[in-house]
Structure 1
Amino acid sequence: MTAVEVAVRAHAALGEGPTWDARAGRLVWVDILGSRIHTYDPASGRRTVLATEQHVGAAKPRAGGGLVVNLRDGVGLYGPAGPGDFGTGPEGASEAAGSGAAAPAGGSFRWLHREPVPGRRANDAAVAPDGSLWCGTMRYDEAPGGGTLSRIAPDGTVRPILDDVSVSNGTGWSPDGSRVYYIDSPTRRIDVFDIGDDRLPVGRRPFATVDDGFPDGLTVDAEGGVWVALWDGGAVRRYAPDGTLDRVLELPVRRPTACAFGGADLTDLYITTARTGLTAPHPMSGSLLVVPGAGKGLPQPEFAG
């Protein structure tokens, strides 16, 4: 069994999207179905929670402070929080009950791109090296082809990338930015694209196939290794740049959802987990886990909008 620790004891229904916010020295993650944005500072132990009235698929740091969020009805922006400012958001976001701390974003909220589609929600998202947001959607019923993957420029311009996705999930770039990895979970594949001159993906092809569980969120390390959380697989796997499996971190939970390197030196692997759909979840299910010293991550770009 992997030497895994509990970073934040929680009961998230669908924890997702861990991202290290280097500017603030904290990890940002979400509970999609709980409509919560969480932050955790491992140096001080300080935690914050922001409640939203829409399901939130991802929350990523912005270059000017605050967060860009992939919400049910589109992509929005939270401005930096001021002292005592818990902020407002779509349909009246507020500080989560019992968090005991200021919200992680706060300040003002505005929609950057709003496109509500009945029966569809946001899912995972990632910031590209050029500062754009690649955001995914999916149907609540997970209908094949009902989701999308789009690129949102800092000015809100939308460029469709894929329009026939089932469950849009992990996205990450190679260290040199020349390739992007992507997961549509029901395919049980991690795919890879080349990045063209227009910064959009071309040449989609399989990178690796999963035979135990479903690939969910991913992160890329400093050596180009691709780390993938396996929903219903109870593990995180690392694939070498040539696609060969070279490491497996067995976990005590059945449904890890995503992973990201964090900490001051980017060597600790944080893993979000889920309780949803489990009749007898492990006590750690829904918590934020960490594997200290698991590898060496890459600094994550901030959204430029």
Structure 2
Amino acid sequence: MEPEALDADRNRLGECPVWCDRTQRLWWVDVLEPALWSHDPQERQCTRHPVVARRIGSLALRERGGLVLACDNGLFAYDPDTAGQAFLLDPEPGKRQHRKNDGRVDSAGNFWVGTLRESDYAPVGAIYRVTPELRVTMEEQDLAIPNSLAFDPERGRIFYADTRAYTIWVRDYDPVTGRAGRKRVFATTQAPARPDGSCVDAEGHLWNAEYAGGRLVRYAPSGTVSRVVDLPVSHPTCCCFGGNHLDRLYVTSASEPLSAEQQLSEPLAGRVLVLDAGVRGRPEFRTGL
């Protein structure tokens, strides 16, 4: 499981890796730069794509092609070939101190996205569900840093976390009707490790990146820990499966919280890591937005 690092610039806050099975390309964002990145494993090339935004919290694959970017001022359709950027809507308009954070698409094509107040990370953030018809529903509120959005369609469940609360929750969820059950605690972490971004593998296990914990934790559907993968970075942020057989695990990370001295001791901080996890993932769902 010795990870390798992609040949891209060190990110301040790398986040939301997403594998496109159509183009066989990895996408991710640097939230704070802000920057949109892609990686072509065949060409062994990383590319930075121009984006107009103050912050990019997450991205999603579009069913009709291209991407949806969750920027500080709304959701935008993005064409990677032309860098064309078209406003779709803002699920939380009028809150200038807020920005978008983690986002994920469910099996019905709805895009779930969290928001947070960047100035103080007070528990005033929320999670919204945006349908392909641009209908917006607030699904959760009073969160400091919403994260870990992931879906287990076989068991009909959605996962999400509040990074500041050290807690991952799970809810029963029907993507067709949009109905979600009451949340219940799925897992908790111990300081300084905080639950950040997640993905679900083909066996229904949740992989979570522990921010400030320096590791990935794989949880069984029951919530028990089934595997721990230590990483050469202290602040991993999110993960996804990719590659021709969805057997490569990509992990984004952050360098921003580290001092200059700490960055010297962590030369891979802020880089995207890739490793063989020994299990396969599942294709990313696409939004109808």
Both proteins in one fold, TM over 0.5: yes
Structure 1, unpaired ranges of 5+: 86-105
- Distance in 2, matches of 1:14 and 1:125, equals 15
**Which is worse superposed, 35-44 or 215-224?**
35-44
- Distance in 1, matches of 2:207 and 2:57, equals 20
Asked whether the equivalents of residues 3 and 291 of structure 1 are also in contact (C-alpha less than 8 Å), the reply is: yes
Question: Is 1:8 aligned to 2:7, yes or no?
Answer: yes
Question: Is 1:117 aligned to 2:117, yes or no?
Answer: no
Task: Tell me the equivalent position of 1:63.
Answer: 63
1:211 to 179, 185, 190: 190
- Distance in 1, matches of 2:85 and 2:121, equals 35
Query: Amino acid of the residue matched to residue 111 of structure 1?
Result: L
Task: Tell me the equivalent position of 1:228.
Answer: 208
Query: Amino acid of the residue matched to residue 290 of structure 1?
Result: V
Normalising by structure 1, we get a TM-score of 0.88
Asked whether the equivalents of residues 217 and 258 of structure 1 are also in contact (C-alpha less than 8 Å), the reply is: yes
Cα deviations by residue, 1:168-218 (Å, 9 ceiling, x for unpaired)? 111111141501111111111111000147223211000111115000000
- Distance in 2, matches of 1:184 and 1:159, equals 19
Query: Amino acid of the residue matched to residue 24 of structure 1?
Result: T
How many residue pairs get aligned? The number is 281
Query: Amino acid of the residue matched to residue 3 of structure 1?
Result: E
Report deviation, 1:107.
Answer: 3.2
Query: Amino acid of the residue matched to residue 77 of structure 1?
Result: A
Task: Tell me the equivalent position of 2:54.
Answer: 54
- Distance in 2, matches of 1:235 and 1:192, equals 21
Task: Tell me the equivalent position of 1:92.
Answer: none
Question: Is 1:284 aligned to 2:268, yes or no?
Answer: yes
Aligned partner of residue 186 in structure 1, secondary structure? helix
Note the 1:162-173 alignment, pairs <5 A: 162-173=140-151
Cα deviations by residue, 1:236-288 (Å, 9 ceiling, x for unpaired)? 00001111101011001110000000001001100000011211221101111
Task: Tell me the equivalent position of 2:34.
Answer: 35
- Distance in 2, matches of 1:41 and 1:200, equals 38
Report deviation, 1:293.
Answer: 4.3
Structure 2, unpaired ranges of 5+: none
- Distance in 2, matches of 1:287 and 1:295, equals 23
**Which is worse superposed, 45-54 or 156-165?**
45-54
- Distance in 2, matches of 1:252 and 1:150, equals 34
- Distance in 1, matches of 2:50 and 2:95, equals 22
Asked whether the equivalents of residues 147 and 164 of structure 1 are also in contact (C-alpha less than 8 Å), the reply is: yes
Query: Amino acid of the residue matched to residue 29 of structure 2?
Result: V
Task: Tell me the equivalent position of 1:90.
Answer: none
Asked whether the equivalents of residues 37 and 59 of structure 1 are also in contact (C-alpha less than 8 Å), the reply is: no
Task: Tell me the equivalent position of 1:98.
Answer: none
**CA gap 1:131/1:6 in 2 versus in 1, 3 angstroms:** same
- Distance in 2, matches of 1:285 and 1:175, equals 33
Task: Tell me the equivalent position of 1:300.
Answer: 284
Question: Is 1:107 aligned to 2:84, yes or no?
Answer: yes
- Distance in 1, matches of 2:94 and 2:272, equals 30
Task: Tell me the equivalent position of 2:179.
Answer: 200
- Distance in 2, matches of 1:274 and 1:108, equals 26
Report deviation, 1:163.
Answer: 2.0
Normalising by structure 2, we get a TM-score of 0.93
Aligned partner of residue 202 in structure 1, secondary structure? coil
